[in-house]
Structure 1
């Protein structure tokens, strides 16, 4: 399925999840297994959908655990929207060893208040990489060339404390998530699109890199042509992906 964002609008506008006729500025392809959230949807309706999904994915969880998952999920979405997210999607994939795995993809647009109409995209990517090296000395930071153009890349692990209510426990549970960030300077003017990919499933990171590579290679100013085939060695979608 294709996803798109309009770079000159805020996440609260209708163009945050535009259709093919809305004049989107940036397109990318989400592989099967990804579900895009409608960031403009009423919070109550969105939470009802999350509750239905939670019933399917976590059938053995207690009502209190499901409630915590739904509330925390909606809180996360609202935090992403407040941070300027133009796109948020989640995925459920079955990996090559048969294990189910989940991840989250967010896309934010960073626009400077003022600046030249045409930016030095290579220079912007390099400066971002330098900043990331200073901020995250233990991270893997570098530059990559996408079909869309140059991008800074940062991969790092983060230690978190997950509320114990998710697991029926009183105390928080330590967890490690791995995050990949691509800062893609825009062709349409000053600013960058920040793709943030996060998963707790570090064991399947190599397979996730293949998934993420496909998404980033599809970034374009033109609407991608969807294909019905996918490599046989790729992780499989659990169920059918839908477009929000």
Structure 2
């Protein structure tokens, strides 16, 4: 089985996380057409039994979400292609955005920052599940919500937009090394396997560290963080 890959966002010192097998990081400067062709090849090799329509929809919707994340200032985007229980085809996208103020003190109240973010999310997304979780790295705000998207129909050679429901989780992790935070966003249309994805995401978030992971480190994926509005050690 492939090993986990250590990742550090650009411009953020002493901040690392690991992406598990099944996740592939995108080159954000790559030509979109070449990227879509490469994703199509990967889909063919991993899911040979999927229908052409399934493969096409997966590639096109993934590229649309990717372009949206790049426009939002993503430092890291990776896609996962997984086989879920029952041999089901499943895809999700992880995005990491660095949020740093232009100026400010070199220290911050991390707990207060996370609580303010959670309060803002509760105001902006009244139907979302919002709370605080305690990661090994420190406190993080958490938000889980469903979003209804309209993917441009032109991508599918259609006149009308194509509706899609996406479940999204956000972790906002205040930095130890200075003001600002790192925002992890994961989204998938495969809501039926959401519990399985929470297990995978729990492992990613538990890997967040101020120290670069050693090559031989390969922590097991743990249980999903509690999102009931309370803090807990993950």
Q: TM-score, normalised by structure 1?
A: 0.76
Query: What is the CA–CA distance in structure 2 between the aligned matches of 1:230 and 1:165, rounded to whole Å?
Result: 42
Q: Secondary structure at the match of 1:26?
A: coil
- Summarize deviations over 1:184-221 as a string: whole Å, max 9, x none: 00011100000001011111111111111010000011
**Counterpart position of 2:228:** none
1:99 to 84, 88, 109: 88
In structure 2, runs of 5+ residues without a counterpart are: 224-234
CA contact (8 A) 1:104 1:198 kept: yes
| Aligned residue number for residue 186 of structure 2 | 197
Question: What is the CA–CA distance in structure 1 between the aligned matches of 2:42 and 2:198, rounded to whole Å?
Answer: 26
Which residue of structure 1 aligns with residue 226 of structure 2? none
Structure 1 residues 1-244: aligned runs within 5 Å: 1-8=4-11, 25-43=14-32, 45-56=34-45, 57=47, 60-61=51-52, 66=56, 73-74=62-63, 76-163=65-152, 171-225=160-214, 226-227=216-217
TM-score under structure 2 length normalisation? 0.79
Q: Which has the higher contact order (CA 8 A, sep 6+)?
A: 1
Is the 1:7–1:25 Cα contact (8 Å) retained in structure 2? no
In 2: Cα distance, 1:6 partner to 1:49 partner: 24
Deviation at 1:157, TM superposition (A): 0.5
Quick check: 1:141–1:152 contact (8 Å CA) kept in 2?
A: yes
Q: How many residues align?
A: 215
Change (3 A) 1:100 1:51: closer
